[in-house]
């Protein structure tokens, strides 16, 4: 049974990938609806999706893909033009595919409704199109001179049909008197016998292929007496009798046997495929979509890398084991250092080297390029710019830059937010841009690059930028600055990240940016990163997001206080000082004078509630967070340390000052200080104190 699950998981993975690549193709078609290669690519993808979803028990998905395939089949045969309506419907359908993957049986009522809406949409596209013959006229000429035409009827008896004591059989028989009828019954809804408690609960429906010399009105008239008790949908398949096609006749017979109804699309598709072909050619036709034009694939990657799919859990296990190895190896080192056995030392060194390489290698496996998110970015920009009637192009560079997969996932919401802002507030409408002498199409550029132990992701736009003066005025009115204070451009821009500022309702007329920028910064901070902003009024804005390469390893300073060890992340570190003449003076605010500056400090021993004797010369570690400088008083500084971060676990999630732990070489546990929280708490406390004093 577990194997079955694995297979389904594999299908789900592959189906997701397929849907994503189809989405990519759609974006290409969005730019150029005439791109033949892309149309074929899309058709092929749909075909594959239809087949595999049917195999793995996703009938709604398969069905839906089938309808779609028909539409794109018409498009690729030049019988239907790929217009904006179809494209938009296609995009919505991509989203719907994802829903169908997650809710295969459409158990959620919202999903059901969505499905009905989507199918209706597809039906209407097909109705409007030339269905079988190019010179076909649709339902619009239904009241013209009747000729013998082929129709599809979908007849559903409403639930209470039988209780009204009506008999449908005579009605259907009279239909037969009009012309040639083929009834394909659909018994899928008819319950199993042990559930068959209500014989009056009608569950049969029919799909009827009718060849008659009549108009739609005439056909409907046949059902006039049961009008209220049925649902009848009529589609004209052709203005002539297509039942001379033996394939269709056989098809109908087969469908009757199966008794699950007959979809007009399958009928149409089969007719398309077979109308000019002989029997032997049918197979060739069926295999054709899979083999054609492999060399000209529109969305083909230039480099074809060989890769294998690995379950995330396996990767996690590998990383976990590697971490344990690193810890064990560090312990080994501690013993070796004290040994005088040279041979042993040599072996230990080898092991250390190998362990280090193994760790680097293992971590690089969980690194994934940013390009995996590219389709999502493109899609978002397209959707928003389309909604706002703006023209925007997204250019990307450096997306082969790799990040830890979990980081990319956490980065995505703030990143999408930045894009949203850029299109929403940054890029102007085409009219305004034209008036400013800018190209009508706005550009958003996303650029990713390595910078030391970090990755920088920069999003720039050539929109209207930020009006610094307006921001400054608002900031002053909100009390962030004094009216006459000398503030730098950076400080003004930084204000946009402050919670109190950006949630202002009038933000849109101030800078056109800033709604939720505090959310972006908070998200980045939680990833041990940061967000900054640069702008030039009238020309554009650039948001820079900085992230560490991985969250599992932290570069920090190892310190000790009251015989306990702590790690302070290097990213916040400013400087370290020894404090030779330290005396605790409780009467004053906790302020030390360092290099002429008044620096507030926090005594780590207070956090530990330890009152044992401190060393004569304690040390002060100066940390900087945003614009605040705070010192942390500790006993000793031990040295720099690259820590493998371990979470403390659910039991400790309420602990504010500690963000994790690491195991040192000798097995001791060092706690990682959450500098962010410590400072925030400190700032809140001092503000409170100030309020109390006032």
CB nearer to other proteins: pick between 450 and 652: 652
- Count CB-CB contacts under 10 A for residue 647: 10
* 655 lines the binding site for other proteins (CB under 8 A): yes
Phi, psi of 66 (to 5 degrees): -60, -45
For other proteins (CB under 8 A), the number of binding residues is 57
The yes or no reply on residue 202 touching other proteins (CB under 8 A) is: yes
> What is the DSSP track for 431-442?
HHHHHTT--SSE
Kindly tell me which of 538 and 667 has the beta carbon lying closer to other proteins. 667
Minimum CB–partner distance for residue 411 and other proteins (Å): 25
166 binding other proteins? (CB under 8 A): yes
Give CA–CA dist 229/207, Å, rounded.
Answer: 17
Residue 461 has which token pair?
């736009």
Q: What is the C-alpha to C-alpha distance for residues 642 and 12, in angstroms, rounded to an integer?
A: 39
Q: How far apart are CA 215 and CA 226, in angstroms?
A: 19
* Strand 669-673 relative to strand 564-569, pairing: parallel
Q: Which residue number, 253 or 431, has a Cβ lying nearer to other proteins?
A: 253
C-alpha–C-alpha distance, residues 275 and 203, integer Å? 35
Q: Which of 17, 173, 213, 469 binds other proteins (CB under 8 A)?
A: 173
Nearest CA among 307, 284, 297 for reference residue 45: 297
With residues binned 3-state (H G I as helix, E B as strand, rest as coil), the percentages for the chain, rounded to 5, are 50, 20, 30
Neighbours of 651 (CB within 10 A): 7
Cβ proximity to other proteins, 204 vs 358, nearer residue: 204
Residue with smaller CB distance to other proteins, 89 or 630: 630
User: Least distance from C-beta 260 to other proteins, angstroms?
Assistant: 11
Binding mask 134-163 for other proteins (x = CB under 8 A): ---------------------------xx-
Query: Of 81, 231, 346, 668, which lies in the binding site for other proteins, with binding defined by CB under 8 A?
Result: 668
Residue 636 found at the interface with other proteins (CB under 8 A): no
Our finding on whether 685 is near other proteins (CB under 8 A) is no
**Residue of the chain from 85, 652, 684, 690 that contacts other proteins (CB under 8 A):** 652
- Between 84-102 and 36-55, two packed helices, what is the crossing angle to 10 degrees? 20
Q: Which residue has the tokens 């590697």?
A: 322
Q: Which of 358, 658, 680, 686 binds other proteins (CB under 8 A)?
A: 658
Minimum separation from the CB atom of position 183 to other proteins (A): 3
Which residues lie below 8 Å from residue 206, measured CB to CB, with a gap of 6+? 153, 154, 155, 172, 183, 184, 185, 186, 261
Stretch that binds other proteins, among 57-65, 475-483, 549-557, 652-660 (CB under 8 A): 652-660
Beta bridge partners of 446: 396, 459
Q: Stretches 189-197, 441-449, 457-465, 467-475: which one binds other proteins (CB under 8 A)?
A: 189-197
**Of 449 and 685, which CB lies nearer to other proteins in the complex structure?**
685
Kindly state the tokens that stand for 666: 């000798």
Query: Per residue in 42-67, is it b (16+ CB within 10 Å) or e — as a string?
Result: bbbbbbbbbebbeebebebbbbbbbb
Give the nearer residue to other proteins in terms of CB position, either 490 or 656. 656
Q: Is 527 within 8 Å of 410 (Cβ atoms)?
A: yes
When asked if residue 553 is in the footprint of other proteins (CB under 8 A), the reply is no
Q: Do residues 444 and 461 touch, judged by C-beta distance below 8 A?
A: yes
Q: Would you count residue 199 as binding other proteins (CB under 8 A)?
A: yes
Please pick, from the candidates 196, 225, 335, 450, the single residue that binds other proteins as defined by CB under 8 A: 196
Q: Binders of other proteins among 587-626, rule CB under 8 A?
A: 607-609
Which of 306/563 has CB closer to other proteins? 563
Q: In what side-by-side order are the strands of the sheet with 553-561?
A: 636-644, 553-561, 564-569, 669-673, 658-663
Beta carbon of residue 196, minimum distance to other proteins (angstroms, whole number) = 6
Quick one: 276 or 613, whose CB is closer to other proteins? 613
Core vs surface per residue 428-458: b (16+ CB within 10 A) or e: bebeebeeeebeeebbbbbbbeeeeebbbbb
Encoded one letter per residue, x for contact with other proteins by CB under 8 A and - for no contact, window 314-353 reads ---------xx--xx-------------------------
Least distance from other proteins to the Cβ atom of residue 579, Å: 22
- Out of 309, 483, 650, 692, name the contact with other proteins by CB under 8 A: 650
Q: Roughly how many angstroms between the first and final C-alpha of the chain, as a whole number? A: 70
Inter-residue contact 505 to 498 (CB < 8 Å): no
**By CB under 8 A, which span of 123-131, 133-141, 165-173, 444-452 interacts with other proteins?**
165-173
Residues of this chain, 256-285, that bind other proteins according to CB under 8 A: 256-257, 259
How is residue 595 written in tokens? 């290099």
Closest contact distance (angstroms) between CB of 168 and other proteins is 5
Region from 129-137, 177-185, 373-381, 531-539 binding other proteins, contact rule CB under 8 A: 177-185
Residues that bind other proteins (CB under 8 A): 161-162, 165-169, 172-173, 176, 181-185, 187, 190-194, 196, 199-200, 202-204, 206, 256-257, 259, 323-324, 327-328, 564, 607-609, 646-652, 654-658, 661, 663, 667-669, 671
């Amino acid at each position: 049974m577990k194997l079955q699950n694995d297979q389904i998981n594999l299908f789900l993975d592959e189906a997701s990938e397929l849907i994503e690549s189809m989405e990519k193709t759609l974006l290409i078609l969005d730019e150029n609806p005439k791109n033949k290669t892309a149309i074929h690519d899309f058709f092929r993808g749909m075909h594959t999706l239809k087949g595999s979803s049917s195999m793995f028990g996703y009938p709604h998905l398969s069905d839906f893909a089938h309808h779609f395939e028909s539409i794109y089949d018409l498009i690729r045969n030049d019988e239907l033009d790929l217009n904006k309506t179809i494209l938009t419907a296609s995009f919505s359908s991509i989203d719907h595919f994802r829903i169908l993957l997650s809710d295969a049986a459409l158990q959620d009522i919202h999903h059901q409704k969505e499905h009905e809406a989507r199918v209706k949409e597809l039906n209407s596209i097909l109705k409007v199109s030339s269905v079988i013959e190019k010179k076909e006229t649709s339902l619009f000429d239904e009241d013209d001179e009747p000729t013998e035409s082929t129709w599809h009827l979908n007849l559903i008896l409403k639930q209470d049909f039988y209780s009204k004591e009506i008999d449908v059989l005579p009605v259907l028989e009279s239909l037969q008197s009009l012309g040639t009828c083929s009834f394909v019954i659909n018994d899928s809804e008819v319950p199993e016998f042990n559930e068959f408690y209500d014989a009056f609960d009608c569950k049969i429906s029919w799909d009827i292929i009718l060849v008659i010399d009549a108009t739609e009105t005439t056909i409907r008239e046949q059902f006039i007496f049961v009008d209220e008790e049925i649902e009848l949908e009529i589609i004209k398949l052709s203005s002539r009798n297509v039942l001379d096609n033996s394939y269709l006749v056989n098809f109908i017979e087969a469908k009757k046997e199966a008794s699950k109804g007959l979809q007009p699309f399958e009928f149409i598709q089969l007719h398309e495929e077979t109308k000019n072909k002989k029997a032997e050619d049918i197979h060739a036709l069926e295999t054709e979509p899979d083999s054609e034009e492999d060399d000209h694939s529109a969305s083909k990657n230039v480099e074809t890398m060989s890769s294998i799919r690995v379950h995330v859990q396996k990767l996690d296990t590998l990383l976990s084991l590697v971490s344990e190895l690193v810890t064990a190896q560090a312990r080994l080192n501690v013993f070796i250092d004290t040994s005088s056995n040279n041979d042993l030392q040599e072996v230990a060194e080898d092991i250390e080297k190998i362990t280090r390489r193994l760790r680097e290698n293992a971590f690089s496996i969980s690194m994934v390029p940013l390009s995996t998110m590219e389709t999502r970015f493109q899609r978002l920009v397209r959707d928003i710019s389309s909604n706002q009637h703006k023209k925007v192009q997204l250019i990307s560079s450096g997306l082969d830059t790799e990040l830890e997969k979990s980081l990319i996932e956490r980065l995505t919401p703030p990143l999408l937010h930045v894009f949203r802002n850029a299109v929403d507030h940054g890029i102007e409408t085409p009219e305004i841009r034209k008036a400013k002498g800018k190209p009508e199409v706005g550009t958003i550029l996303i650029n990713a690059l390595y910078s030391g132990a970090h990755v920088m992701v920069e999003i720039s736009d050539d929109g209207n930028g930020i009006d610094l003066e307006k921001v400054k005025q608002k900031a002053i009115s909100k009390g962030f600055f004094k009216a006459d204070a000398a503030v730098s451009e950076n400080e003004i821009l930084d204000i946009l990240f402050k919670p109190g500022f950006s949630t202002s309702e009038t933000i849109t007329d101030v800078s056109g940016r800033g709604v939720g920028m505090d959310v972006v910064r908070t998200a980045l901070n939680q990833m041990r990163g940061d967000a900054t902003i640069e702008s030039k009024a009238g020309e554009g804005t650039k948001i820079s997001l900085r992230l560490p390469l991985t969250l599992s390893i932290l570069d920090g300073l190892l310190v000790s206080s009251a015989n306990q060890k702590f790690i302070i992340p290097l990213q916040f570190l400013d400087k370290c000082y020894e404090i030779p003449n330290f005396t605790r003076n409780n009467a004053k605010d906790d302020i030390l004078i360092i290099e002429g500056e008044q620096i507030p400090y926090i005594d780590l021993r207070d956090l530990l509630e330890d009152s044992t004797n401190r060393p004569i010369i304690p040390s002060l570690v100066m940390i900087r967070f945003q614009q605040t400088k705070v010192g942390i008083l500790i006993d000793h500084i031990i040295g720099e340390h690259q820590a493998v971060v371990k979470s403390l676990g659910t039991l400790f999630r309420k602990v504010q000052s500690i963000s994790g732990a690491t195991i040192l070489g000798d097995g001791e546990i060092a706690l990682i200080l959450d500098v962010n929280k410590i400072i925030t708490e400190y700032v809140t406390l001092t503000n409170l104190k100030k309020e109390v004093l006032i």
